Amino acid sequence: MNRDQMIEELSKIVGKENVLFSETDLLLYGYDASLFKAKPDCIVLPNSTEEVSQIVKFAHREKIPIVARGSGTNLSGGTIPARGGIVIHFSRMNRVLEIDIKNQRAVVEPGVFTLTLKNQLARYGYVYQPDPASERVSTFGGNFGENSGGPHCLKYGVTTNHVLGAEIVLPDGEIIWVGGKALDHPGYDLTGLLVGSEGTLGIATKLVLRIVPKPEAVKTMLAIYNSLEDAGRTVSAIIAEGIVPATLEMLDRLTIKAVEESIHAGFPLDAEAVLLIEIDGLKDGMERLAERIIEICKENRAREVKAARTEEERAQLWAGRKGAFGAVARLRPNYLVCDGTVPRTKLPEVLTRVMEVGKKYNLPIANVFHAGDGNLHPLILFDERNEEELKKVHLAGSEILKICAEAGGTISGEHGIGTEKKKEMFFVFTPKDISAMRKVKRAFDPEDLFNPGKVLPEVQT
Amino acid sequence: MKKEELKAQLYDEIAKCNRCGFCLAVCPVYAAVGKEWATPRGKNALIRAIIEGKIDWTPEIEESLYRCTGCRLCTQTCFPAVETNQGVLAGRECLVEKRLYPQVIDRVVEAIENNFNISNEPNINRTMWMETMEGVPENRFQKEKAEVIYFTGCVASFYPMAHKIPQNLVRIFHRAHVDFTLLGGEEWCCGFPLIQAGMKEKMKTLKEHNEKMVQKVGAKTIVFACPSCYHTWREMYQTDAEPLHSTQFIERLIAEGKIIFQDGRERIVTYHDPCDLGRNSKVFDPPRNILKKIPGVKLVELENNRQLSMCCGGGGDLEMIDPDLSSAIAKRKIEEIQKTGAEEVVTACQQCIRTISGYARKNKIKLKVRDITEVVLEAMSA
């Protein structure tokens, strides 16, 4: 089918003003927050499940690839239209459909920003726990596709633990429901399968989310270290004690320096690492727990531990963490956020090896990450315009994932595989493992039309 | 502007955009449009693609770059603080060279070139706002030498809806015994609309003329009630006189005991930070300090305030270029105002008032929108 016909057909479904196809628009929907680019054939902006279904039915009939997209904040190329086709942009389907406090559920459309729902919930003293760094703009459709995480996932789990059901448009355009408001649905756990499938199996058009009351109390602490190893050991020691903090974040020396230069969060410049530890829950017993954490920090040679006494002090401690990315981003024009997970006990050793990779390729690497669940985010700093550097960045990123895999970890904590890490899938899966996943993909999408060319590498037979 | 110049000036700046997309959360244009071309990220990507020769200027790029209010909330919330608006304005300069720009701009440029103001009135009528005012002195507030110059600005001078601002401000000056003058027909447009249009080079004569006139009066201070004139003056002009926004000047008058407030009505008021005054010129406290001094006023903040204030929709020539889009942005602003429960919103910009009250009037929303000068004068007289 030629493009003019395609545009005409799609315009019948969503209206002319909601089909984009100029050269300019094709360029604008060819990128996301990763280093990859491609070009779609057109972009459609539907306003209802029915419209999405019609678009997909049309594409299925004509064998045109489809990529669903929210805010395009994803970091592994998940929304790059690798084989062209239609990009479905969900910005118009951005309604919060239901907030059911009594049953602790919310129902949203895929284009709702995470923080928009959280702000609405705040009025009721409720919260949706996952907190991806991009929460102010990441959409629920995107969170669903990528199984997004965030600092609080240490205690509360990632997106999949908070999505209870969804309305799904399948690759042939049929509309189905998986899961629902109840906690444990019979039959296959298709919700679990679809969350994190990066838009390769189905497109969520409504999502049922778990919401919970806001914790009664919060306590935030900052521990400062002269050595990265001591900070890493503290992380393991806290968890080994049976304590599950809400967040356990680590910042390394380069990050501390950058933060201090830009926002003066009060981190000592000669420190090698800081840990930001937050506990939440019932007021009773919280002080005792905080004291125990401070003891553990000191037992592991923290040179200083500060606890926030007021909401202002808490905000100040978090300012350093929240501003860290920004501060580091000012050091060089661009950064690649790597995303690997290792067993907590391996953190010190892996961090050392990560820094060696930086030295090998002569690229600065800063570390700001979710230490509690062993989820590393080395930021490799570079200039995207320098092709030589760009090549080195890809090699260094891959090598870091190799290190994570060798340490018994894996190649993604929360950013997904997308286009970026397909070949690294072999670091953690055998060809047989991949083939098993491929069977699932074929069961849902035999024509390979939903986000083709993502997640699964080709297996040589 | 030529592509080479665009590259020399902005490539390094634009290259800092990592396409993270955080700006999508705050951009008022994206919130209204919902398409990638409306986003700051998209605008950076387009400028970059032009610089790298991956795309040529298209009508779609024109549409994108001319739909930015210049509010700079994107930069405020951007990790590497990419100055997207600089890229937008430079891009507009390139588009002008290609003759790809909204035709409505020609009307304003023609007005400025013929009349030295943005209206169709001859500039001699710059004091027309006095027609509906009582007690205007014979010199029409103009003298050869004065301590202070009040730079009225085109909108307040020529558009009846905004006439209250100069009327109130000169009354305040008069009561506070300020030695001030207007430039009258010798006040020319500051050049802000030309910068926004992508025709910065055309403001040279305006700037030279205004600077000369200010030097001639020998004033120590030049006061603006228009945040955009004030911002333009601070960024582009060189004179000995200290530029102050009216709120800064009034705050000083209060401190010097020259303005004294009588008792006022008990009421809840919220304050909207105009982008060019707040975020872009960093004047946040003077208007708040003034409001707090007024008896009876209880100030409640908008959810997004100070450096995070949301644009009213009237910035960057947008109201002229795309009134529907400007309205859609104003709608969000009004919803935010209504959430505070305040019975009146005070601001310090004629354009914000025009955009907000214009939308409220057209949509029959009951909302009191007032300039701070009106509130100050009322409290002095109460």
| Domain housing A224 | 217-326
User: What is the reported pLDDT for B212?
Assistant: 97
* A458 is a domain residue: no
* A314 is a domain residue: yes
CB contact, 8 Å: A28 with chain B? Answer: yes
Joined together, the tokens standing for residue B189 give: 């447009």
Please check whether residue B69 is in contact with residue B227, taking contact to mean a CB–CB distance below 8 angstroms. no
Q: In chain A, which among 324-383 make CB contacts under 8 A with chain B?
A: 325-326, 329-330, 333-335, 383
- Each of the 461 residues of chain A gets a pLDDT tens digit; together they read 889 999 999 999 999 999 999 999 999 999 999 999 999 999 999 999 999 999 999 999 999 999 999 999 999 999 999 999 999 999 999 999 999 999 999 999 999 999 999 999 999 999 999 999 899 999 999 999 999 998 999 999 999 999 999 999 999 999 999 999 988 888 999 999 999 999 999 999 999 999 999 999 999 999 999 999 999 999 999 999 999 999 999 999 999 988 888 777 778 889 999 999 999 999 999 999 999 999 999 999 999 999 999 988 888 888 888 788 778 888 899 999 999 999 999 998 999 999 999 999 999 999 999 999 999 999 999 999 999 999 999 999 999 999 999 999 999 988 999 999 999 999 999 999 999 999 999 999 999 999 999 999 998 76
**pLDDT grade for B303, boundaries at 50, 70 and 90:** very high
My answer on whether A203 and A223 are in the same domain is no
Rounded distance, CA A166 to CA A179, Å?
6
- Residues of chain A with C-beta less than 8 angstroms from the C-beta of B64: 24
- Tell which of A174, A197, A213 closes a domain: A213
Please check whether residue A424 is in contact with residue A171, taking contact to mean a CB–CB distance below 8 angstroms. no
- Tell which of A161, A182, A213 closes a domain: A213
- Tell me if residue A280 falls in helix, strand or coil: strand
- Cα torsion B38, B44, B47, B53 to 10°: value is -110
Strands A273-281 and A217-225: antiparallel
With an 8 Å Cβ cutoff, are A89 and B19 in contact? no
Q: Is B369 left (phi over 0), alpha (psi -120 to 50) or beta?
A: beta
Contacts of B105 (CB under 8 A, 6+ apart): B197, B199, B317, B320, B321
CB contact, 8 Å: A385 with chain B? Answer: yes
Mean pLDDT across the stretch B219-227?
97
- Tell which of A326, A358, A381 closes a domain: A326
Residue A157: which CATH number? 3.30.465.10
Which domains are seen in chain B, by residue range?
Answer: 3-97 (1.10.1060.10), 104-254 (3.40.50), 259-381 (3.40.50)
Rounded distance, CA B301 to CA B291, Å?
12
Strands B180-182 and B148-151: parallel
User: What is the reported pLDDT for A1?
Assistant: 81
With an 8 Å Cβ cutoff, are A25 and B60 in contact? yes
User: What is the reported pLDDT for A94?
Assistant: 98
If you average pLDDT over every residue of chain B, what do you get? 96
My answer on whether A36 and A136 are in the same domain is no
Joined together, the tokens standing for residue B146 give: 């004065």
* A367 is a domain residue: yes
Joined together, the tokens standing for residue B140 give: 């029409």
> Is B376's pLDDT higher than 90?
yes
Rounded distance, CA A177 to CA A197, Å?
16
**Cβ neighbours, 10 Å, residue B194:** 24
Joined together, the tokens standing for residue B346 give: 């005070």
* A104 is a domain residue: yes
Comparing CB atoms, the residue among A137, A325, A334 nearest residue B21 is A137
DSSP state of A47: -
Name A175's bridge partners.
A169
CB contact, 8 Å: A16 with chain B? Answer: no
My answer on whether A221 and A320 are in the same domain is yes
Rounded distance, CA A6 to CA A8, Å?
5
My answer on whether A209 and A221 are in the same domain is no
- Residues of chain A with C-beta less than 8 angstroms from the C-beta of B55: 23-24, 27
Joined together, the tokens standing for residue A201 give: 């199996």
CB pairs under 8 A between A and B: 92
Q: Closest residue of A to B12, CA-based?
A: A333
* A460 is a domain residue: no
Q: At what angle do helices B372-381 and B285-293 cross, to 10 degrees?
A: 20
User: What is the reported pLDDT for B184?
Assistant: 96
Name A37's bridge partners.
A31
My answer on whether A344 and A438 are in the same domain is yes
User: What is the reported pLDDT for A328?
Assistant: 87
- Residues of chain A with C-beta less than 8 angstroms from the C-beta of B48: none
My answer on whether A237 and A318 are in the same domain is yes
Q: How many domains does chain A have?
A: 4
Mean pLDDT across the stretch B156-182?
97
User: What is the reported pLDDT for B119?
Assistant: 95
Residue A364: which CATH number? 3.30.70.2740
Joined together, the tokens standing for residue A377 give: 């985010």
My answer on whether A394 and A410 are in the same domain is yes
Rounded distance, CA B188 to CA B152, Å?
10
My answer on whether A371 and A314 are in the same domain is no
Q: Quick one: how far is CA A306 from the chain centroid?
A: 29
Residues A331-369 as b or e (16 or more Cβ within 10 Å = b):
bbbbbbbbbbbbebbbbbebbebbbebbeebebbbbbbb
Joined together, the tokens standing for residue B289 give: 């300090």
* A453 is a domain residue: no
My answer on whether A207 and A221 are in the same domain is no
CA nearest to B226, candidates B298, B152, B285, B141: B152
Q: Which residue has the tokens 């808490």?
A: A314
With an 8 Å Cβ cutoff, are B25 and A385 in contact? no
Torsion A430-A434-A437-A443 (CA) sign: negative
With an 8 Å Cβ cutoff, are B36 and A89 in contact? yes
CB contact, 8 Å: A25 with chain B? Answer: yes
* A189 is a domain residue: yes
User: What is the reported pLDDT for A461?
Assistant: 65
* A307 is a domain residue: yes
User: What is the reported pLDDT for A379?
Assistant: 94
* pLDDT tens profile B141-153: 999 999 999 999 9
